[in-house]
Amino acid sequence: MPQPDHISKLGVPDPAGLDEDLRAIWAKCVEKLGFVPNVFSAYSLKPQRLRHFMAMYNDIMRAESGLSKLEREMVAVVVSSANRCYYCLVAHGAAVRELSGDPELGEMMALNYRVARLDDRQRAMLDYAWKLTTVPYLVDDADRDGLRAVGLTEGDVFDLSETVAFFNLSNRMASATDMMPNREYHRSTRA
């Protein structure tokens, strides 16, 4: 059986019927990436929700921050690994490969980040991401102090935490809709 046969189990509206602002984004995606990410298609079932999701996503992943874009993608993948979210592991695993130029780093983040060779700061961020994802009620002052000890500012801790929090949202939207990633992600930066 060829894999997969759907984008979202809740269905995807015809993009031709979307509002102009969304159609413009679709066009821009095709121009830049060659395809419209399936998360946008799946979310377009509720156009206003998609707008909020994209606004939040773009700000968390692309705005200025003490965390590099690669680090934010690494956090995204580690959160998605804890939640075993297929869509996000595929799409953001590709992003880690692309931004780092290191195909193995993407695999390590997805499969078990603890095997990766990382500096203390990155390791502390990923341990925190795992803990805030799996046992959020156990996060305490010692965890925040540990992040400060490797150099994170209060603003960095906020950014890191919101990245973790955001992927705990998006992982659940992907699982809820059985969202399938675009095939293009699988091929990128493999060697």
Q: Which is nearer to a second copy, 41 or 177 (CB)?
A: 177
Using CB under 8 A as the binding rule, whether residue 74 contacts a second copy is answered as no
Q: Is the dihedral of CA 123, 126, 128, 131 positive or negative?
A: negative
Rule CB under 8 A: is residue 67 a binding residue for a second copy? no
DSSP at 138: G
Minimum CB distance to a second copy smaller for 18 or for 116:
116
Contacts 24+ apart (CB under 8 A), 106-110: 106/77, 106/189, 109/74, 109/77, 109/78, 109/81, 110/77, 110/80, 110/81
40 binds a second copy (CB under 8 A): no
Please state, in angstroms and as integers, the Cα–Cα distance from residue 31 to each residue in 24, 25, 36, 94, following that order: 11, 10, 9, 19
Q: Is 69 in the site for a second copy (CB under 8 A)?
A: no
**By CB under 8 A, is residue 182 in contact with a second copy?**
no
Instruction: Kindly state the smallest distance separating residue 18's Cβ from a second copy, in Å.
Output: 16
Can you state the angle between helices 69-82 and 47-62, rounded to 10 degrees?
120
Is residue 151 within the footprint of a second copy (CB under 8 A)? no
Using rule CB under 8 A, residue 14 touches a second copy: no
Task: Annotate each residue in 91-130 with x if it binds a second copy (CB under 8 A) or - if it does not, as one string.
Answer: -----------xxxx-xx-xxx-xxxxxx-----------
**Token reading at 132:** 């805030």
Least CB distance to a second copy at residue 27 (A): 24
51: Cα separation from own chain's centroid: 17
Q: Does residue 141 interact with a second copy by CB under 8 A?
A: yes
